[in-house]
Every structure is written in C-alpha cells, then in structure tokens.
C-alpha cells in the first residue's frame, strides 16, 4: 500500500522532542521522515540514519464524539494490559506502545512492525487463486486468537448489553442511510432478540476480545509471527465475537471481490476448525463456536455495510446476507 510522503518532521514540532527522547535517544540530530498511514490521524515516522520506524496516532481534542476520543486514548493502556498476558514475545505478539502525550493530541506512539496484513492474502486468494497462503495465514490467526482468549478467560458469563446496544446502533445508522428500510430494521431487531435469548450466547464465558478483528489489524511477519495492532475496541466479551468478525470479513472479502456468496465458505470452515482444534474437546468447541458464529458474523456484515465507499447495491446485498445469516443460524440445533 502506498503511504503518501509528507516530508521531514520539523525540529520545532513538539513531537520531535518526544521521538528524539523515546525512540532515538543516542542519535545526534535525528531526522524523521513522515508518511501518512491512514486518514484517521495515523502516521509513520522513520529515522533517517537508523531506519528505526514507529507509528504515531493522534486524536482531535475538539471532536464532539467524546466516546471516540476516550476509545482512542485508551489504546495505550489496552496494549500494555494485553502484553502483560505474555503477548510481548513472538510468535503471538501485540505491538509495543512507547509513549503518549495528550497535551499535543498524541494518543500513543508504538513500534512499527513490517509484514503483510491478512487483506494481502485475501486479495491473492480472490484474484490469483492462492488459497494455500490464505489458509496458512488463517491458521496462524486462529492460534493467536485462541491464545488471547485462553489466557484471558473469566469465570463469569458475558454481558450481552454491549452487544445489544452496538447491534441497535449499527441498524440505526443503516436505516438512516436507507441501506435498510424501517420495516427491515424491525425484522433485524426481532431476530437479534431471539439470538440474545439463546442459552448458548447467555452462558458463554467472558474473555478479553480484540474487538476489531479486521484483516488490516493483524500483521504476518516473514518469520511466521502474528502481530496484533489497533486495540482501541478491546473489551470483555464472547470469544465468538472475534471469531465471528473474522468470518464476516472473509464473507465480505470474497463477495465484494468475486461476487460469489460461496467462495469464502472453504476458508471460513478452515478458520473455524483451526480455532477449535486448539481446545481440549475439539468437537464440543467447534459445535459451540459454530452455533454462536452466525450472530456475530451477521453483525460484522451489517457493520461493513455502513461504509459509503462501497457500491450502494453491494451494501444492500451485504445487509441481506446478514439477514439470511441470522435466520439460518437460528435453525442450527
């Protein structure tokens, strides 16, 4: 992915002293080259002499969406929390936070990890038929997520209030965007209520979930490591939340690129089996995850359908796929 080059960081910029002291303390007069990583105030800084690279994430203090600001500011602590569970060593690794300074709107600076994200392998599978590399990546990701969930498991059952509120929030936006009608919205809500009343969802034990398990948030290094980034949305939840999000993203990736609603199925099944195979009782784990997966998978498809960079007809089709997923999943016994 091309990252627009913005020039060198000015010596007078308050960020310069932070990078100088925390990233390159032994370098005399370091020069930091700046590239924009995304439109969300994320930048890459590369020191000219050492080639040490870090990522800086910023927030807008004037953003009226205070919930969003708190989420962005909380990522530094989230990274520290998860690394303390043993994710500070490879092969399952969470990126290292380095510093933060809210006075200048700096949520955090973190190390930059070179590698390919999952979307790279999705494109190769969809356009070049390279299913082998994608399956290998999904196997590694399944192991990472299993390790995350197994190490952070809790005795208490999940609190579904957050899921309920988020599902409603997503539907409300889709209705405002006219991707779904008000009648459709009521149908989705009825199905959601049926799902949230299911024993398998209510009795699922809580774990810490990544919370934003999208293809661009996992980096695969040449050595075979998996590195998780962007833990803004980390929270306590159902392990099937992360698993279902990966499956929903797989569905979208192939449907969007190939037009086929079935092209993703072999990879979804592979991922579910690889994840379940790490449990002591593999058959039980596969059955329970598979029963809960359609709900979170459908939520992910609805979440993606909000994006206005996607074709209008495709967004409506994705919302319909989510509806069918909810209905089909309720028939599982």
Statement to judge: residues 100 and 214 lie in one domain: no
Statement to judge: residues 231 and 256 lie in one domain: yes
Q: Which pLDDT tens digit goes with each residue over 208-234?
A: 999 999 999 999 999 999 999 999 999
Statement to judge: residues 27 and 99 lie in one domain: yes
Statement to judge: residues 98 and 180 lie in one domain: no
Question: How is residue 285 written in tokens?
Answer: 């784990």
Residue 184, by phi and psi: left (phi above 0), alpha (psi -120 to 50) or beta?
A: alpha
| Contact status, residue 145 vs residue 243, Cβ threshold 8 Å | yes
Q: Which pLDDT tens digit goes with each residue over 22-71?
A: 998 888 899 999 999 976 799 999 999 999 999 999 998 877 788 888 88
| Of the residues 60, 92, 111, the one at which a domain ends | 111
Statement to judge: residues 131 and 248 lie in one domain: yes
pLDDT of residue 300: 98
Rounded to 10°, the helix 312-330/182-196 angle is: 30
| Of the residues 52, 79, 111, the one at which a domain ends | 111
Chain mean pLDDT for the chain: 95
How many domains does the chain contain in total? 2
Q: Which residues of 29-42 are buried (b: 16+ CB within 10 A; e: fewer)?
A: ebebbbbebeeebb
DSSP, collapsed to helix, strand or coil, labels residue 60 as coil
Statement to judge: residues 160 and 98 lie in one domain: no
Statement to judge: residues 60 and 29 lie in one domain: yes
Statement to judge: residues 214 and 183 lie in one domain: yes
Question: How is residue 247 written in tokens?
Answer: 């499956």
Statement to judge: residues 137 and 278 lie in one domain: yes
Statement to judge: residues 311 and 170 lie in one domain: yes
Task: Give the helix/strand (H/E) hosting 174.
Answer: helix 161-176
| Of the residues 57, 83, 111, the one at which a domain ends | 111
Domain span including residue 139? 116-330
CATH of the domain at 286: 3.90.1200.10
Statement to judge: residues 85 and 219 lie in one domain: no
Statement to judge: residues 20 and 160 lie in one domain: no
pLDDT of residue 1: 55
**HSE, side-chain direction, 13 A CA sphere, residue 210:** 28
């Amino acid at each position: 992915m091309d990252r627009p080059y913005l020039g060198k960081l000015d010596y007078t910029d308050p960020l310069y002293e932070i990078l100088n002291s925390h990233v390159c303390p032994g370098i005399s007069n370091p020069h930091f080259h700046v590239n924009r990583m995304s439109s969300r105030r994320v930048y890459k800084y590369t020191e000219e002499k050492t080639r040490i690279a870090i990522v800086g994430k910023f927030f807008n203090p004037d953003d009226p969406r205070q919930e969003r600001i708190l989420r962005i500011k909380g990522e530094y602590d989230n990274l520290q929390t998860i690394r303390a569970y043993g994710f500070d060593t490879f092969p399952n690794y969470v990126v290292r936070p380095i510093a933060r300074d809210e006075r200048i709107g700096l949520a955090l600076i973190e190390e930059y990890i070179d590698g390919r994200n999952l979307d790279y392998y999705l494109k190769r599978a969809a356009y070049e038929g390279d299913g082998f590399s994608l399956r290998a990546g999904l196997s590694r990701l399944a192991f990472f997520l299993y390790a995350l969930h197994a190490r952070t498991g809790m005795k208490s059952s999940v609190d579904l209030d957050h899921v309920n509120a988020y599902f409603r929030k997503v539907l409300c936006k889709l209705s405002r965007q006219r991707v779904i009608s008000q009648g459709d919205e009521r149908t989705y809500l009825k199905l959601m209520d049926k799902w949230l009343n299911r024993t398998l969802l209510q009795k699922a034990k809580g774990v810490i979930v990544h919370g934003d398990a999208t293809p661009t948030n996992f980096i695969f290094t040449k050595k075979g490591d998996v590195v998780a980034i962007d833990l803004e949305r980390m929270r306590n939840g159902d392990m099937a939340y992360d698993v279902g999000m990966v499956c929903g993203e797989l569905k979208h990736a192939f449907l969007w690129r190939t037009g086929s609603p079935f092209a993703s199925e072999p990879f979804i099944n592979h991922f579910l089996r690889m994840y379940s195979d790490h449990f002591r009782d593999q058959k039980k784990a596969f059955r329970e995850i598979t029963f809960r997966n359609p709900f979170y998978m459908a939520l992910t498809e609805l979440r993606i359908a909000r994006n206005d960079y996607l074709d209008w007809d495709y967004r409506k089709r994705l919302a319909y796929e989510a509806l069918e997923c909810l209905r089909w999943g309720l028939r599982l016994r």
